[in-house]
Amino acid sequence: MGIVVFVTNDGFILSSAPNFRDLGGHRAAGGGTVRHGMLYRSDALHTISEPDLPVYNGLGIRQLIDLRTEHERVNLPDITPEGAAYTAVSVQGPRAAGGNFSEALMDRERARAMFADGAAERFMFAVYRELVTDEIALTGYRDLVERAAKGPTALVFHCSAGKDRTGWGAALLLSLLGVDRTVVVADYLASNERQENTDKWMRMLSEHSGLTWEEVAPMARVRAEYLETAFTHVDEVYGSFDGYVSDGLGLSSATVESLRERMIS
Cis peptide before 154 (omega within 30 of 0): yes
User: Cα torsion at 9, 49, 141, 100 (round to 10°)?
Assistant: 130
Q: How many CB atoms lie within 10 A of CB 212?
A: 11
Q: Catalytic one among 17, 64, 159, 172?
A: 159
Backbone angles phi, psi at 153, to 5 degrees: -120, 160
Is residue 263 within 8 A of residue 38, CB to CB? The reply is yes
Alpha carbon dihedral 216, 219, 225, 229, in 10-degree steps, equals 120
The C-alpha atoms of residue 187 and residue 194 are separated, in whole angstroms, by 12
Rg of the chain taking only CA atoms, in angstroms: 18
Question: Is 159 a known active-site residue?
Answer: yes
Sign, CA torsion 18/19/20/25? positive
DSSP helix/strand/coil, 21: strand
Q: CA torsion sign, 43 to 49 to 53 to 55?
A: negative
CA-wise closest residue to 115 among 226, 205, 242: 205
Active site residues: 159
